[in-house]
Chains A and B, each alone.
Chain A
Amino acid sequence: NAGVTQTPKFRVLKTGQSMTLLCAQDMNHEYMYWYRQDPGMGLRLIHYSVGEGTTAKGEVPDGYNVSRLKKQNFLLGLESAAPSQTSVYFCASKAPPGLAYNEQFFGPGTRLTVL
């Protein structure tokens, strides 16, 4: 099992450009999450999904869109990148409530720089 994978690992964008980050998980998890990590700020939730075809806003959703067309994939889009979106982005997945373990499994991250 690969667990949670993220594509790409690194990316440099110019202000105003768009891009999509891909997250894939092979654990058949219902829940998936996108976080951003900035120095001294910890992990902040951007958007999350509790199942295929559903998405919801997290703490810092502005400037991002997401889609969950397939259960195993969760896409994060930046329509018009801004320097404030320079960050490390992490995807995570989790089994639904009711199971014994409440662990979120994280991917390796995507380091995005917006010039």
Chain B
Amino acid sequence: QQQVKQSPQSLIVQKGGISIINCAYENTAFDYFPWYQQFPGKGPALLIAIRPDVSEKKEGRFTISFNKSAKQFSLHIMDSQPGDSATYFCAASIYGSGAGSYQLTFGKGTKLSVIP
């Protein structure tokens, strides 16, 4: 059972365009939603994260939009650059202590290619 569904699997965007990656989750106990960025040959690294007390979080060109009622969240990359070409993973977990807080459940990833 896949608890975090991510789409699209791959995405090609022109330089300067907006990249949008969507995720949907099933477990209503999830309350921490990070996005990880992975470059070829490297390990994933945290890009940006959100908790459901806000509907949007912005850091530079990267924005997370969160819709608690729909159990969906998305990553928007504004003014996409060739250097943003990477694989992006959404994830979800329980933020506090106790069972479920130790683990992240990852989506299957989106390979983003930004062409000049």
Hey, which bits of chain A sit against chain B, CB under 8 A? 4, 31, 33, 40-45, 48, 50, 58, 90, 92, 94, 96-98, 102-104, 106-109
Number of B interface residues in the complex (CB < 8 A):
26
Query: What's the Cα separation between A4 and B97 when bound, in Å?
Result: 23
Interface contact B95-A108, CB-CB below 8 Å: no
Q: If the complex has contacts A97-B96, A106-B45, are A31 and B102 also in contact, measured as CB distance less than 8 A?
A: yes
Residues of chain B whose beta carbon lies under 8 Å from any beta carbon of chain A: 6, 9, 32, 34, 36, 41-46, 49, 89, 93, 95-98, 101-104, 106-109
Q: Which chain B residues border A45 with CB–CB below 8 Å?
A: 103-104
Assembly CA distance A42 to B41 (angstroms): 15
Is the Cβ of A106 less than 8 Å from the Cβ of B44? Answer: yes
B9 touches A40 (CB 8 A): yes
The reply to whether B96 and A104 form a contact with Cβ atoms under 8 Å apart is no
Contacts of A98 in B (CB 8 A): 96-97
Alpha-carbon separation in the docked complex, A45 to B3 (Å):
13
Closest chain A residue to B96, Cβ basis:
A97
Judging by beta carbons under 8 Å apart, are A43 and B42 in contact? Answer: no
Q: Is the pair A102, B44 in contact by a Cβ cutoff of 8 Å?
A: no
Q: Provide the residues of chain A in CB contact with B46, threshold 8 Å.
A: 103-104
Question: A-B pairs with the 9 shortest C-beta distances?
Answer: A106-B43, A42-B108, A97-B97, A43-B106, A103-B46, A42-B106, A106-B44, A42-B109, A97-B101
Q: Which chain B residues border A106 with CB–CB below 8 Å?
A: 36, 43-45
**A42 to B42 CA separation, bound complex (whole angstroms):** 14
Contact B107 A90 (CB under 8 A): no
- Provide the bound-state CA to CA distance between A22 and B109, in Å: 26
Can you list 27 pairs linking A and B with CB atoms under 8 Å apart? A4-B43, A31-B102, A40-B9, A40-B108, A42-B6, A42-B89, A42-B107, A42-B108, A43-B44, A43-B106, A44-B106, A45-B103, A92-B43, A97-B95, A97-B97, A98-B96, A98-B97, A102-B32, A102-B49, A102-B93, A103-B46, A103-B49, A106-B43, A107-B43, A108-B43, A109-B41, A109-B43
In the complex, A36→B18 CA distance in Å?
30
Q: What is the bound-complex CA distance between A25 and B69, given in angstroms? A: 38
* B103 contacts A58, C-beta separation under 8 Å: yes
Rounded to whole Å, the gap between the CB of A57 and the closest CB of chain B is 11
